[in-house]
Amino acid sequence: MTPDLLWLRRAVELSRLCPVSETAFAVGAVVVGADGRELATGYSRETDPLDHAEETALRKLRGVNLRDATIYSSLEPCSRRASHPRTCAELILEAGIPRVVYALREPPVFVEGDGAALLTACGVQVVHLEDLADEVRRINAHVLSGHLG
């Protein structure tokens, strides 16, 4: 198993810790340094009912140089949201993280997401590893069940 897949699996496992919400996805995120060490983790609603996983992990790293880091997320980082003024894609760009790996493209359940496109347009290397996408769908079945066409 590649390092990317191992770290992405860690993010998916973190998503299982999310308090269940009928109005939000369960997402896990891991920030990994260039040396392959875990720097921070986060999952949706970990510290606040409106927090996203990437947002939570990045908040733990304020002031840390992330110019060589990778963030792994079970779901594509959001590019639109109603709950907070800053999206996860914006927070990743602001943090200077040059690489994002995610398992499942954000389904258009709540908003039409294009976080990967936004990040790519801003020069971030975005890797979509679909190996764990079915697992992410199962974890989020509570919000996807009525939206799978």
Q: Which residues are the active-site residues?
A: 54
Distance CA 16, CA 11 (A): 9
Q: How far apart are CA 9 and CA 138, in angstroms?
A: 14
- Describe the strand order of the beta sheet including 125-128 as a list of residue ranges: 38-43, 28-32, 70-75, 99-104, 125-128
- Count CB-CB contacts under 10 A for residue 79: 19
Phi-psi region of 54 (alpha: psi -120 to 50; beta: other; left: phi over 0): alpha
